[in-house]
Amino acid sequence: MFRTSRTARSPSFSAVSGEHEYARFAAGLGDPWRVAALPHPGFAPDEPLPATAAALAALHAQQVLELAEGAPVLLIGRSAGGWVAHAVAAALERLGAQAAGIALLDTPPSGNDPRGYALMVDGLLHREDRFITIDDHRLTAMAAYARLFREWTPEPISAPTLLVRAAAPHGPGEEPIASWRLPHETVEVPGDHFTMLEEHASTTARTVGRWARGLRGGPPSAVAQPVTSKMP
Question: Among 15, 90, 106, 141, which one carries the catalytic annotation?
Answer: 106
Question: Among 10, 12, 17, 79, which one carries the catalytic annotation?
Answer: 79
178 is catalytic: no
Question: Among 37, 80, 89, 166, which one carries the catalytic annotation?
Answer: 80
Question: Among 36, 193, 212, 224, which one carries the catalytic annotation?
Answer: 193
Q: What is the CA radius of gyration of the chain?
A: 16
31 is catalytic: no
Cis peptide before 72 (omega within 30 of 0): no
- Counting runs of H as helices and runs of E as strands, what totals does the chain give? 6, 7
Handedness of CA 49, 10, 120, 228 (dihedral sign): negative
Three-state SS string over 64-107 comes to: HHHHHCCCCEEEEEECCHHHHHHHHHHHHHHCCCCCCEEEEECC
DSSP of 10-43, one letter per residue? E--S-TT-SGGGGHHHHHHH-TT-EEEEEEPTTS
| CA 209 – CA 28 distance, rounded (Å) | 9
* 232: three-class secondary structure by DSSP: coil
80 is catalytic: yes
Residues serving a catalytic function are: 79-80, 106, 193
